[in-house]
């Protein structure tokens, strides 16, 4: 009850920020990001677009990969209109396609740019069952697996950039408190909904993808620490906000639901605050493997904190993203 009251009134936590803090407010302590190059997925609308706007305002060079380059160009145009000195590059990327991820990384590397910051923000909620071109359930493929491969392929560049510049690299995975809604065997359920349409539940599939984001972060942070890399990895829950994630279910019922819950919803700027805080705030130097909500460290679910499950998912993800892998013909356990 007390936590709910704190959320509603926007009470500040240990960080000095709370649920009502905006992305602009939390980045005031780091106003100059001109030495930072950042990749932000899902920046064509909503939280991602606001994250891009704020980082551009602070001077960061932005790479905006998008499945719809036209929408990304529109985001770029809006930002440049507001901040004419912004340095923004739009590139093509479909996170549900492993070949598209590989092509994007290859093209990015050919530009010979540094990479200080990777924000894995893009998200999808598939109401209807569908498979990616690689044969993976679409929500999992887009929200988690594409980001897993993207991070893996960019990690060397991030480590090299940190070594050359002395600036600690940061990886931010945007998850959700919905990750706690999933229980059971994650890999078995993924295999089930990939092979059997009748077992598909859209909400549970979404929760699975967000659980995977948290588990990925935890295992990645361990591996980064073991390797001595000057790169951190953290994940965040942005809060409840109406974005284009609900675009497949616009209508009276959806509108009524969000109206009734309006006191619990964040504005887009408030929802982008935790991402921007974790991505930029000086206080979080050396902080890694943590889960944040409302710009403060929070507790992930018991399953999301299970190190054995994190390792198990990592190994399965390595197998699925192998170039010659075909999900339908393999068992992951």
- Separation between Cα atoms, residue 232 and residue 255, nearest integer Å: 39
According to DSSP H, which parts of the chain are helical?
2-9, 23-26, 46-57, 69-82, 98-110, 138-140, 146-165, 186-195, 202-227, 252-260, 268-271, 273-280, 307-320
For the record, the structure tokens of 184 come out as 């059971």
Which residues contact residue 50 at a Cβ distance below 8 angstroms, ignoring those fewer than 6 apart? 23, 268, 269, 271, 272
Count CB-CB contacts under 10 A for residue 146: 28
Residue-level pLDDT at 260: 46
Q: What share of the chain is helix, strand, coil (3-state, %, to 5)?
A: 50, 10, 35
- Separation between Cα atoms, residue 316 and residue 24, nearest integer Å: 38
The model scores a pTM over 0.75: yes
- pLDDT tens for the chain, 333 residues long, are 445 445 545 578 999 999 999 999 999 988 899 999 999 999 999 999 999 999 999 999 999 999 999 999 999 999 999 999 999 999 999 999 999 999 999 999 999 999 999 999 999 999 999 999 999 999 999 999 999 999 999 999 999 999 999 999 999 999 999 999 999 999 999 999 998 888 899 999 999 999 999 999 999 999 999 999 999 999 999 998 755 544 445 555 555 555 545 556 899 999 999 999 999 999 999 999 999 999 999 999 999 999 999 999 999 999 999 865 555 444 443
Residue-level pLDDT at 105: 98
Residue-level pLDDT at 240: 84
Catalytic center residues: 200
CA angle (111 as vertex; 106, 112 as ends), nearest 5:
100
Give 135's DSSP letter: S
How far from 99 is each of 69, 92, 129, 141, 324, CA to CA, in Å? 17, 12, 22, 12, 11
Closest CA to 214 of 178, 187, 168: 178
Terminal Cα distance for the chain, rounded: 41
Closest CA to 187 of 171, 169, 209: 209
Residue-level pLDDT at 247: 46
Residue-level pLDDT at 326: 54
For the record, the structure tokens of 190 come out as 């993924």
């Amino acid at each position: 009850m007390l936590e709910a009251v704190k959320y509603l009134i926007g009470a500040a936590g240990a960080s000095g920020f709370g649920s009502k803090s905006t992305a602009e407010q939390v980045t005031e302590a780091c106003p100059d990001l001109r030495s930072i190059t950042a990749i932000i997925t899902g920046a064509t609308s909503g939280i991602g677009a606001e994250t891009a706007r704020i980082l551009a305002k602070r001077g960061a060079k932005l790479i905006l990969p998008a499945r719809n380059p036209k929408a990304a160009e529109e985001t770029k145009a809006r930002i440049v209109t507001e901040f004419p000195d912004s340095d923004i590059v739009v590139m093509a990327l479909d996170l549900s396609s492993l070949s598209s991820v590989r092509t994007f990384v290859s093209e990015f590397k050919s530009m010979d740019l540094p990479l200080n910051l990777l924000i894995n923000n893009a998200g999808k909620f598939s109401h209807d069952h569908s498979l990616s071109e690689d044969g993976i359930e679409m929500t999992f493929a887009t929200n988690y697996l594409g980001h897993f491969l993207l991070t893996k392929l960019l990690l060397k560049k991030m480590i090299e950039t940190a070594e050359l510049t002395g600036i600690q690299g940061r990886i931010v995975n945007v998850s959700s408190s919905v990750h706690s809604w999933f229980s059971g065997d994650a890999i078995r359920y993924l295999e089930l909904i990939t092979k059997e349409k009748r077992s598909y539940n859209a909400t549970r599939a979404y929760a699975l993808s967000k659980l995977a984001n948290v588990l990925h972060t935890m295992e990645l942070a361990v591996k980064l620490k073991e390797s001595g890399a000057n790169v951190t990895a953290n994940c965040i829950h942005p809060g409840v906000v109406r974005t284009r994630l609900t675009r497949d279910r616009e209508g009276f019922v959806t509108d009524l639901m969000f109206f009734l819950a309006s006191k619990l919803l964040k504005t887009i700027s408030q929802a982008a605050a935790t991402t921007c805080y974790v991505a930029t705030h000086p206080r979080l130097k050396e902080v890694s493997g943590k889960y944040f909500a409302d710009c403060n460290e929070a507790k992930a679910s018991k399953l999301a904190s299970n190190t054995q499950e994190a390792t198990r998912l990592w190994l399965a993800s390595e197998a699925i993203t192998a170039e010659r892998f075909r999900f339908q013909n393999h068992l992951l356990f």
